[in-house]
Structure 1
Amino acid sequence: MHVSVVGSGYIGTTIAAWFAELGHTVTNVDIDEDVVDAINAGEAPIHEPGLDELIGDHGGDTLVATTDYADVRDTDVTFLALPTPSEADGGIDLAAMKAGAESLGEAIAEKDDEHLVVVKSTVIPGTTEDVVTPIVEDAAGKTAGEAFHVAMNPEFLREGFALGDFRDPDKIVYGAESDAARDTLDRVYDPLVEAADGDPAIVETGIKEAEMIKYANNAFLATKISLINEIGNVCKEYGVDAYEVADAIALDHRIDEHFLRSGVGWGGSCFPKDMNAIRHAARDRDYDPVLLDAAVAVNDRQPERMLDLLGDHADVEGKRVAVLGLAFKPGTDDIRYTRAIPIIEGLQDRGADVVGYDPVATENMREKFPDIEYADSAADALADAHAAMVVTDWDEFAALNTEFDAMADPVVIDGRRVIERRDGLTYEGLTW
């Protein structure tokens, strides 16, 4: 098939590269000429393990990027993978989605054969049918269900693991109201289903249900993390190792082992935004989402608990403090809602001289905190530091050993259980 993907952010770039890998011809539309040039040169515009190789194989060949929406006329299906960031009140900002829908409608106005429009972005139930579809209809001068069809196909990709998650998904969700839409999605995904290591479930449902499935998925996982963090906080007060507790309860098949690593909390582009959005949507219908509010409150409190533990061992005013890990998780350079941000802000409030280090996210963090020091290695960050805060569980931090000997005062507050306790090190785990 000939597939077009509008948007070259994290999701758009990943699915465009994978569709090309599956044998489809792919047109990637983006307004950023630098991103377009990078993809056509076979270079990934974002950091994601394995993506450089995938785009290197297909960029400029079966995967072509463009700034011209008119190119979607030659395609059979368009996936709208545009950002839906949080607004100040927690709702989602649909400005990019609306603009993309309008440009897409204008492009397919002159298309004679049927076209499938698929919303890939995470949107509140009703958005696809009540916002996106009317915009495309108005711009195209055509009616949905006749000249074109509409579907919702949420993504479930984890940053740092996106290629594997796409290749071997647990489920593929088709939110569609027409057989034509479902048939086209089958043609897009059949090569993936055949190649997948497992046997992914194909969930055929309504458009609103598909929109809600994405929020429910992320809300459940975010709440599970906050619950194990809450349990871990109680464990810490009693001198109990929360990880031993988690290992035991994970043996119960109803609980499972995933997302039971307690620590400093979740961040990134999905959980915070989606939790804010679903809470806002609930209140918009006069429902008070008590449990979801509590999950967010626990998550917001974890960095402060790390800072409190630091205060038990060191007065950092005027002292050098290393922050190890700036990305919200290993395997990505994404700093959106990273727990390193409140940690750095808290250290600055306490008068510390902060030095940050991350294998790949330094430049992104430098834009947010241009005035702190950045080290070229963990060893450089630790040298002469009076304390270290471990915020991201990069594998290289687990290998640190003698590097701690260069600290002026070897105090380590570990938010991810990545550092080994050792003699001569004042070590505190957040929940163990």
Structure 2
Amino acid sequence: MKKITVIGTGYVGLVSGTCFSEIGHQVICCDIDQNKIEQLKQMKMPIYEPGLEDLVRKNVHDGRLTFTSDVSVAIQHSEIIFIAVGTPMSETGEADLTYVKAAAKMIGENLNDYKIVVTKSTVPVGTSRIVRQIISKHAFTSVSFDVASNPEFLREGSAISDCMNMDRAVIGASSDMAAKIIEEIHEPFHTKVLITDLESAEMIKYAANAFLATKISFINAIANVCELVGGDIVKVAEGMGLDSRIGNKFLRAGIGYGGSCFPKDTLALHHLARVAGYDFSIIQSVIDTNDKQKTIVIDKLLKALGDVEGNAISVLGLTFKPNTDDLRYAPSLSIIPILLNKGAKVKVFDPIALDGVKRYFGASVTYHDDVYDALHDSDACLVLTEWEEIVGLDLDKAKSIMKEPIIIDGRNCFDLEIMNSRGFHYQSIGRPAVGEERIGNLAVTN
């Protein structure tokens, strides 16, 4: 059992710290945000993540997990310190290391015995070396320490499962001893461990996320071609996925990626390559394709309605993916302003993120925590997130309460034959449109 401090109680820090306590380590999660710490002490989670609150409660009750805003004391009482603070995107696209550097400074000022300082945040190559320099500069004693890089690979919505059943742990370290210790604390996870140098560990996270983003943008581009030539992207993706060299993951067409990782990490990698003197044109194409994909549902909506001014448009799903309250780079934040600018009356539904989205749109849209309330008297509906409440819609009920049976589905939630048999005008991504009927004064055909 090790004494571990995690600096930062955001998504990565809170999940990682909780899971380390679950496998038996003594963990202090600390943050300079006193309000967040007080909320955590009252078992109020700052993020929505299935299973997190229960696991936090369990380990707090068992005495393995504590929270504090006294970062100095937490550092002094630990053997291993994980830096899990935010690295937001700057105006140039590079990762902003302000919080990482501040954490390193605090560690240096409170270095009272040997510790291993591990960067958990997603950071540019070379950051661990910077962390070492800052700690050394601010240390008041000659106490030795090591630095390591241990990037996270958590998916929002399944982070607890991803951590407790992690498929690999990447460890870059400044010494063999530090690498061995970090490997040992991962043993209860029964995972594959790759030990490498600091720079390679830092690059692995960026490379992995950029590759997955590339798969998403590629399949979305293929979906757009399918619509032009008459293919069905679902079958195309299924056939591609049967190739063991490709695999079937991240081949689901839609309206692009969002969230805290892919948008930020692709831009950061592109910036890193540019600074190093390499024209990473593939990544630029991935970014451009994703930006364009977000608003493709608007084109489909205008094709169906002709004009949205004065029309009631339901937007179902606001987060970038289901089972999270994360709105960062969510397609809804790009799509809703376009609808408002075109004069639409926007009605939104999301089971988790309504409070969060109010900060963006205020009274300019109407908010519904019931999906059928959001659909009532709507001229059309846009599906942006595949929440269970949306995928499981009672389609007959939905049709009966909508003014016009028009659904533009950015996540391919529904079967084409079923939508056709229910009498919907239904357009999705990379599949044929269904519903031969006249809507308003506009002829719509398959």
TM-score normalised by the shorter chain: which range applies? over 0.9
Whole-angstrom distance in 1 between the partners of 2:102 and 2:118: 15
Bigger mean CA offset, 182-191 vs 324-333: 182-191
User: Aligned ranges for residues 187-336 of structure 1 at < 5 Å?
Assistant: 187-193=184-190, 200-314=191-305, 315-336=307-328
Whole-angstrom distance in 2 between the partners of 1:399 and 1:353: 25
Report the alpha carbon displacement of residue 139 of structure 1 after superposing the two structures with TM. Answer: 1.6
State whether structure 2 residue 426 is matched by structure 1 residue 424: no
Report the alpha carbon displacement of residue 169 of structure 1 after superposing the two structures with TM. Answer: 1.5
Whole-angstrom distance in 2 between the partners of 1:303 and 1:115: 45
Whole-angstrom distance in 1 between the partners of 2:123 and 2:85: 10
Amino acid at match of 1:11: V
Bigger mean CA offset, 75-84 vs 278-287: 278-287
Whole-angstrom distance in 2 between the partners of 1:171 and 1:428: 39
Matched with 1:398 is: 391
Amino acid at match of 2:18: A
Matched with 2:163 is: 166
Whole-angstrom distance in 2 between the partners of 1:333 and 1:366: 13
Bigger mean CA offset, 302-311 vs 385-394: 302-311
Matched position secondary structure for 2:295: helix
Whole-angstrom distance in 2 between the partners of 1:277 and 1:270: 10
Report the alpha carbon displacement of residue 248 of structure 1 after superposing the two structures with TM. Answer: 1.1
- Aligned 8 A contact 1:80 1:120 in 2: yes
User: CA-to-partner distance for each residue in 1:105-142, whole Å, 9 max, x for gaps?
Assistant: 1122xx1x31000000011101110x211111112135
Matched position secondary structure for 1:59: helix
TM-score (norm 2): 0.92
- Aligned 8 A contact 1:40 1:63 in 2: no
**Which of these residues, 329, 334, 349, is aligned with residue 342 of structure 1?**
334
User: CA-to-partner distance for each residue in 1:272-293, whole Å, 9 max, x for gaps?
Assistant: 0001100011111221111101
Matched position secondary structure for 1:122: coil
Matched with 2:440 is: none
Report the alpha carbon displacement of residue 19 of structure 1 after superposing the two structures with TM. Answer: 0.8
Whole-angstrom distance in 2 between the partners of 1:320 and 1:64: 48
Amino acid at match of 2:411: R
Matched position secondary structure for 1:13: helix
State whether structure 2 residue 386 is matched by structure 1 residue 383: no
- Aligned 8 A contact 1:42 1:57 in 2: no
State whether structure 2 residue 326 is matched by structure 1 residue 364: no
Structure 1 alignment gaps of length 5 or more = 194-199
Matched with 1:66 is: 68
Matched position secondary structure for 2:180: helix
Matched with 2:100 is: 97
Whole-angstrom distance in 1 between the partners of 2:22 and 2:74: 20
Matched with 2:81 is: 78
TM-score (norm 1): 0.95
Report the alpha carbon displacement of residue 346 of structure 1 after superposing the two structures with TM. Answer: 1.7
Whole-angstrom distance in 2 between the partners of 1:341 and 1:95: 26
User: CA-to-partner distance for each residue in 1:136-171, whole Å, 9 max, x for gaps?
Assistant: 11121356xx61110000000000010111111121
User: CA-to-partner distance for each residue in 1:361-414, whole Å, 9 max, x for gaps?
Assistant: 111111111121111211011101111110001111111111232111121100
Whole-angstrom distance in 2 between the partners of 1:167 and 1:54: 11
Amino acid at match of 1:340: S
Whole-angstrom distance in 2 between the partners of 1:32 and 1:372: 31
Whole-angstrom distance in 2 between the partners of 1:419 and 1:26: 44
Whole-angstrom distance in 1 between the partners of 2:399 and 2:51: 32
Whole-angstrom distance in 2 between the partners of 1:94 and 1:336: 19
Matched with 1:114 is: 114
Alignment length (residue pairs): 420
Whole-angstrom distance in 1 between the partners of 2:123 and 2:76: 25
- Aligned 8 A contact 2:166 2:189 in 1: no
Matched position secondary structure for 1:216: helix
Structure 2 alignment gaps of length 5 or more = 432-446
- Judged with a 3 Å threshold, the aligned counterparts in structure 2 of structure 1 residues 150 and 142 are, in CA distance, closer, same or farther, namely farther
- Judged with a 3 Å threshold, the aligned counterparts in structure 2 of structure 1 residues 142 and 258 are, in CA distance, closer, same or farther, namely farther
Amino acid at match of 1:185: I
Give the percent of matched residue pairs that are identical in Structure 1 and Structure 2.
40
- Aligned 8 A contact 1:41 1:59 in 2: no
Whole-angstrom distance in 1 between the partners of 2:278 and 2:343: 42
Matched with 1:2 is: 3
- Aligned 8 A contact 1:317 1:352 in 2: yes
Matched position secondary structure for 2:56: helix
- Aligned 8 A contact 1:43 1:59 in 2: no
Amino acid at match of 2:424: L
Matched position secondary structure for 2:294: helix
Amino acid at match of 1:76: E
Matched position secondary structure for 1:360: coil
Whole-angstrom distance in 2 between the partners of 1:160 and 1:19: 19
Amino acid at match of 1:88: E
State whether structure 2 residue 183 is matched by structure 1 residue 186: yes
Amino acid at match of 1:376: D
Whole-angstrom distance in 2 between the partners of 1:405 and 1:288: 54
User: CA-to-partner distance for each residue in 1:164-187, whole Å, 9 max, x for gaps?
Assistant: 111111210110120221122023
Amino acid at match of 2:133: P
Whole-angstrom distance in 2 between the partners of 1:304 and 1:64: 44
Amino acid at match of 1:384: D
Matched with 1:136 is: 135
